[in-house]
Amino acid sequence: QAVIHWFKRDLRIRDNTGLSKASELAKKKGVGVIGVWIMSPQDWEAHLVSPAKCDFELRSVKLLQEELAELNIPLYTETITPRKDVPKRLLNLAKKWGVKNIFCNLEYEPDELRREERLVRLGTEDGINFEPCHDDCVVPPGSLKTGAGRQFAVYSPWYRAWVAHLHAHPHLLNERPMPEQNPSGFRDNFKTLFDREIPPAPETKALGPEQKERFYHLWPAGEAAAIDRISLFLTEKIGRYTATRNFPAKQSTASVSVHHAAGTLAARTSVRLARDVNSTKKLDGGIEGIKGWIGEIAWRDFYRHVLVNWPYVCMNKPFKFEYTNIEWEYNDEHFRAWTEGRTGYPIVDAAMRSLNSTAYMHNRLRMITASFLAKHLLLDWRLGEQYFITHLIDGDFASNNGGWGFSSSTGVDPQPYFRVFNPWLQSEKFDAEGEFIRKWVPELSEIKGEGIHNPYDKGGEAEKIAKREGYPRVIVEHKFARDRCLKRYKAGIGRE
């Protein structure tokens, strides 16, 4: 007899709603908790999960297993293919172990909701209670409505409602109780569950040894690493966040998106910890940097609420239907140049090379490169969305889709389509000294001064170096690209 908690995108022990509830019920029944983690290679394929992210999850699962073992809780792992078999297999395991209750935290994408719905149905037939919990968002989807009772499609009023809701329901930010230690005899009854090996990544998702080693150091996995990262950020950086967050060379952001995506850190934990270091203990007042940072985590919730309210965004459709008819260019060479960082726009190239090397990209650079793909190259934004998700270690459908929708002007609360980022101005503003460019585009590292932003523009030393080092000329002229974009968008949506 036991209670199951099924770990998915919540690879942590602390502040975990489903796990906490499983433990509470187990205590009431006088039984123990069994953790289950299922590797579903088909899900990883279908969701285009990057090898870096798979590796991060597998490392986190290993650490989770060790931490759970200290509480005498086993983490049973198994690889299941095809993915449609997951619900039945989970229920069969429950029957085998005499389990009547399975908990998990909800994932909100349609495939996952359908799977959970099937589990509720099949579980009911088998007398097994399957209880998915809200945990991934700080404010559960469905809680916020406009004055007219509609869903919000604009961030600012939604954010005000989000803050008001949390101030009115402070328990939403409370830390969920830690799971209890399993009873001492538990290990004797379920011995074989304690020594399950974590399966290796499937071949299509495996990293090479060099990458594995590099990501291991660059992106320490597990919840202890998450707490280390956020603690450092809260003590040293958050106060200046608003002033510094847009400058990629400053490394002034928290770098916790990878932990939010794998669930080694709950978004709720982040908001609560940030609130607690704020002088006012409020979410939207006091220290500017804290307010700003909490506002960014709110964006994460916002895009999840959008996904729940308008699930067609998961089906390759733009949020704004009228943007379906834009006539995109289909230029493979341009797309390749963008992915490889060979566009001739140093800031774009530096950003793409940083993504290819670290599996991460700074937010400002995500906006610049996404806008460049959709507006300068006039390539279908979905190509870029897909490239990002297959390469990011923090790849997350809702945030990625939201970010691409914003940058390509096809999404919810988007950048107006007639606002086209000028990559050179963005570069001068957010990498004024060219520090970030020099790091990632070594061909240009010897250029001194502002020639770094657009080396072929002013001639002289900058041009000489760029030519000598074989740095490409721009693959599309800025002014031409801007005019073409405005015309094509206008024609596509049929209005100014």
Find out whether 253 is annotated in a ligand binding site.
yes
Cα(114)–Cα(197) distance, rounded to whole angstroms? Answer: 29
Based on the shown chain and the rule CB under 6 A, indicate whether residue 254 belongs to the binding site for ligand FAD.
Answer: yes
Cα(371)–Cα(401) distance, rounded to whole angstroms? Answer: 13
Based on the shown chain and the rule CB under 6 A, indicate whether residue 261 belongs to the binding site for ligand FAD.
Answer: yes
Q: Which of 6, 162, 404, 440 is catalytic?
A: 404
Find out whether 413 is annotated in a ligand binding site.
no
Instruction: Clarify whether 440 is annotated catalytic.
Output: no
Instruction: Clarify whether 129 is annotated catalytic.
Output: no
Which window, 215-223, 283-291, 350-358, 359-367, contacts ligand FAD (CB under 6 A)? 359-367
- What is the helix (H) or strand (E) element at residue 491, kind and residue range? helix 478-493
Instruction: Clarify whether 37 is annotated catalytic.
Output: no
Q: How far is the CB of 254 from ligand FAD (least distance, A)?
A: 3
For ligand FAD, the nearest residue by Cβ is 403
Q: Which of 296, 443, 450, 469 is catalytic?
A: 296
Q: Which of 44, 162, 219, 299 is catalytic?
A: 299
Instruction: Clarify whether 296 is annotated catalytic.
Output: yes
Q: What is the DSSP letter of 5?
A: E
Q: How far is the CB of 365 from ligand FAD (least distance, A)?
A: 8
Based on the shown chain and the rule CB under 6 A, indicate whether residue 370 belongs to the binding site for ligand FAD.
Answer: yes
| Residues binding ligand FAD: number (CB under 6 A) | 30
Instruction: Clarify whether 328 is annotated catalytic.
Output: yes
Cα(311)–Cα(317) distance, rounded to whole angstroms? Answer: 10
Instruction: Clarify whether 381 is annotated catalytic.
Output: yes
Q: Which of 394, 413, 431, 463 binds ligand FAD (CB under 6 A)?
A: 394
- What is the helix (H) or strand (E) element at residue 35, kind and residue range? strand 32-39
Q: How does 451-484 read in b/e, with b if 16+ C-beta sit within 10 Å?
A: bbbbbeeeeeebbebbeeeebeebbbebeebbeb
Find out whether 409 is annotated in a ligand binding site.
no
At residue 273's C-alpha, the angle toward residues 270 and 276, to 5°, is 145
DSSP string, 261-307: HHTSS-HHHHHHHHHHTSTT--SSSSSHHHHHHHHHHHHHHHHHHHH
What the block records as the tokens of 58 is 């597998």
Based on the shown chain and the rule CB under 6 A, indicate whether residue 353 belongs to the binding site for ligand FAD.
Answer: no
Minimum CB distance to ligand FAD smaller for 403 or for 455: 403
Cα(361)–Cα(123) distance, rounded to whole angstroms? Answer: 42
> Which residues line the annotated binding site for FAD?
241, 253-257, 293, 296-303, 394-396
Residues that bind ligand FAD (CB under 6 A): 245, 253-257, 260-261, 293, 296-297, 299-300, 303, 362-363, 366-367, 370, 388, 392, 394-396, 399-400, 402-404, 407
Residues involved in catalysis = 296, 299, 328, 363, 381, 404
